[in-house]
Amino acid sequence: MTEQAYKIQEEDLIRDDITEYLRRHETKDLLRLLTCGSVDDGKSTLIGRLLYDSHMIYEDQLAAVTKDSKVHGTTGDDFDPALLTDGLKAEREQGITIDVAYRYFSTDKRKFIIADCPGHEQYTRNMATGASTCNLAVILIDARHGVITQTKRHSFICSLLGIKHVVVAVNKMDLIDWSEEVYEKIREDYNAFVARLGFSDIHFIPMSALKGDNVVDHSQNMAWYDGPTFLHHLEGVNISTDRNLIDMRFPVQYVLRPHLNFRGFSGTIASGFMRVGDEVMSLPSRRASRLKAIIGPDGEIAEAFAPMAVTVTLEDEIDVSRGNMLVPVKNLPHVGNEFEAMVVWMHETPAKAGRSYLIKQTTNMVPGVLADIRYKVDVNTMRKQAGGEAPAVKTVQRGENSSDFNERSDSTFNELNAATELQLNEIARVHITLHRPIAFDPYEKNRSTGAFIIVDRMTNITVGAGMIVDRVVPKPKSSAPVSKNIVKTASLVSDEDRRKLLNQKGATLWLTGLSGSGKSTIARQLERELTDMGHACYILDGDNIRHGLNRDLGFSMEDRSENIRRIGEVARLFNEAGIIVITAFISPYREDRKQARAIVNGGIVDDGETVQDVKIEKDSSASTISESSERFNGLNEGGARLNDSTNPRETRFVEIFVDTPIEICERRDPKGLYKKARAGEISQFTGITDPYEPPQKPEITLLSADLPVNQAVGLVIEKLRQEGIVG
């Protein structure tokens, strides 16, 4: 439908049946998008065009703009759509856009909120701000210039902030004779680098924002383009699946106590959905209860979902206050006072490692320390940078090198010295320690519970924004941090020496599975078998670990993690000594097994399961995101810890999933634990009240229900032979 026809149809409806018109507009949905591009790519023009063509400009505003066009405009006496959008006096006088501006327009299908982000100085800060609330990013490219450094930078920041949908607006097609070839080339160039950024949908549209081609109406000049127009595409993008409707998270904002018989907890559902009767737990206290009632803006409802603002009441009088989070008992977020995050620094005063700040996450404002700056990311190249020596990221002017970042070499990069400062507009991976624990999820999984802002304690200014990457290994409470003075000295005995001596390679056979799945049985048989074959091996299990080394640990989520961490460290020591370790722990959390794997495999702290997929050039001086299947948290850690004398990439960790269905485990119930758990005598029992997260890519899966123990053991030994662990 043409723009004119569309307008007329709307007007007819307004005139003839206003009630129907209002009904349609009441039920439309909402899309938040941001526009990014370099200065002069045509952002303001495009937005002005949308506002104008979709009927959002009133005549008197237009009259004012037309008057202004003569004074400030760049289009001579013609109407300049950019003037509809460029707001502040200062920027109009300078002809630039200096801050994120929000614009509104709507059709009968959708309301649109546009975050108009300047492509100028402060780009990173402003873009991160604009992107934080958006579902979709419009990346403008001036067809005459093609894909330039800024294009990549903007795309990277959008991906960092978790945007899933991208529209690449190839603008100013009028200036290149509406050339299909040029457009195709830009498409190719863009696709070549963007694959690694993890967008779920990318759409290209050739247009002229100034003339209106393919903005609202199809272009007469580009008959070769048969895709949707810009507006049409925006109206149709499916964003309903972007939300996390799986993991219910309800950060408590406010407690209502109108009278003694009512205690309500108000808040905005961050993700997931809830139903009356659901069993919920308050974090970090871990007190459980059930949802008694849910009160929405229109009264009591049976269920509610993100992003509704509701008030809930609970069956039991448990202590809940602002800053606590209600979650399903069977689907818990992380709880802890340490995490790693990607941070965008937003203030002229640099961030300093070791300095204390206020961290606001969900409804918590907690003091914390920026404990460590792991490395910085160069937004132009998407490379990790050596901390200290890295040049500050500068504003890159148009036309500056647009070389492909794969080719760029970073000569300053040797080892990762921790950076100590973070400048305005820099992005870094950091480690944060809080004064008290909070509940959180990785940002990748949950944009609401994985996001935080950093506030300066003296000036109260918001100085940074962060996205939680993953849980870190909690440090033992009593121990001091690793001293900088501990230097590893090379042993006089090499791994090779030990290998020859023992005729085997140190390795960890990590058995995981439900209670009663057969882990211990297989472990014991395996130990017997390997010993008979003349190999040195040893089982670590609850009996020898929980009673000694880890007797100070309980079964809370944190303690379980710490338990696994220590086991990982012990296994690693055994392995370095040349011994084969067999572990037999339920180890239900994927995260924890990831950590154990990382520790055993020589200190790759957080890549966990993806380490397997990632091909690492061992000597590359810097690594790029392209090597990772994940996004920013996949920035791999090539050399993040000082390597041992051994090849750090030699995988010693063999994850063995003892995959027995819970019904069978429960029938076996060798220690009567399932019975107790069912009777409610054990409060936290994997498979009954607590989740078991099966491995996604175990080295070995043993379907032990149908597999006699000796055959299972045979399979494992076969695998060990293949891997060269035993001869």
Smallest distance, ligand GDP to C-beta of residue 114, A: 12
Residue ranges with strand state E in 498-636: 507-512, 537-540, 580-584
Tokens 């009512």, residue? 262
Q: Which is nearer to other proteins, 91 or 184 (CB)?
A: 91
Closest CA to 381 of 132, 136, 626, 639: 626
Q: Which is nearer to ligand GDP, 42 or 648 (CB)?
A: 42
Question: What separation in angstroms does the CA of 356 have from each of 261, 362, 367, 371?
Answer: 42, 19, 7, 8
Smallest distance, ligand GDP to C-beta of residue 614, A: 37
Q: Which is nearer to ligand GDP, 41 or 247 (CB)?
A: 41
Specify the length of the chain in residues.
727
Q: Which two tokens stand for residue 315?
A: 């069956």
CB 596 within 8 A of CB 653: yes
Smallest distance, Mg ion to C-beta of residue 200, A: 28
Q: Which does 295 bind (CB under 5 to 8 A by kind): Mg ion, ligand GDP, other proteins, none?
A: other proteins
For β-strands 136-142 and 165-171, DSSP reports them as parallel
Closest CA to 46 of 223, 291, 213: 213
Q: Which does 75 bind (CB under 5 to 8 A by kind): other proteins, ligand GDP, Mg ion, none?
A: ligand GDP
Stretch that binds ligand GDP, among 22-30, 34-42, 513-521, 584-592 (CB under 6 A): 34-42
Smallest distance, ligand GDP to C-beta of residue 413, A: 34
Q: Which does 504 bind (CB under 5 to 8 A by kind): other proteins, Mg ion, ligand GDP, none?
A: none
Which amino acid appears at position 726 of this protein?
Answer: V
Among residue numbers 154 through 183, which ones bind ligand GDP (CB under 6 A)?
171-172, 174-175
Q: Which does 74 bind (CB under 5 to 8 A by kind): Mg ion, ligand GDP, other proteins, none?
A: ligand GDP
- Give the count of residues interacting with ligand GDP (CB under 6 A): 19
Backbone angles phi, psi at 141, to 5 degrees: -130, 130
Among residue numbers 21 through 80, which ones bind Mg ion (CB under 5 A)?
44
Stretch that binds Mg ion, among 4-12, 96-104, 287-295, 586-594 (CB under 5 A): 96-104
Among residue numbers 56 through 85, which ones bind ligand GDP (CB under 6 A)?
74-75, 82
- Give the count of residues interacting with Mg ion (CB under 5 A): 2
Q: Which two tokens stand for residue 96?
A: 């630039």
**Is residue 435 exposed (0-12), middle (13-18) or buried (19+ Cβ within 10 Å)?**
exposed
Smallest distance, Mg ion to C-beta of residue 88, A: 11
Nearest residue to the partner ligand GDP, using Cβ:
42
Q: Is 97 in the site for Mg ion (CB under 5 A)?
A: yes
Q: Which is nearer to ligand GDP, 94 or 710 (CB)?
A: 94
Residue 674 CA to residue 665 CA, distance in Å, equals 9
Q: Is 210 in the site for ligand GDP (CB under 6 A)?
A: yes
Q: Which does 1 bind (CB under 5 to 8 A by kind): other proteins, Mg ion, ligand GDP, none?
A: none
Q: Is 139 in the site for ligand GDP (CB under 6 A)?
A: no
Residue 376 CA to residue 421 CA, distance in Å, equals 10
Q: Which is nearer to other proteins, 347 or 594 (CB)?
A: 347
Q: Which is nearer to other proteins, 22 or 642 (CB)?
A: 22
Backbone angles phi, psi at 654, to 5 degrees: -115, 110
CB 272 within 8 A of CB 245: yes
Question: What separation in angstroms does the CA of 101 have from each of 35, 87, 113, 115, 131?
Answer: 10, 8, 10, 6, 12
Smallest distance, ligand GDP to C-beta of residue 48, A: 7
Residue 130 CA to residue 122 CA, distance in Å, equals 12
Residue 281 CA to residue 288 CA, distance in Å, equals 4
Smallest distance, ligand GDP to C-beta of residue 209, A: 4
**Residues paired with 103 in a beta bridge:** 114
Q: Which residues bind ligand GDP (CB under 6 A)?
A: 37, 39-45, 74-75, 82, 97, 171-172, 174-175, 208-210
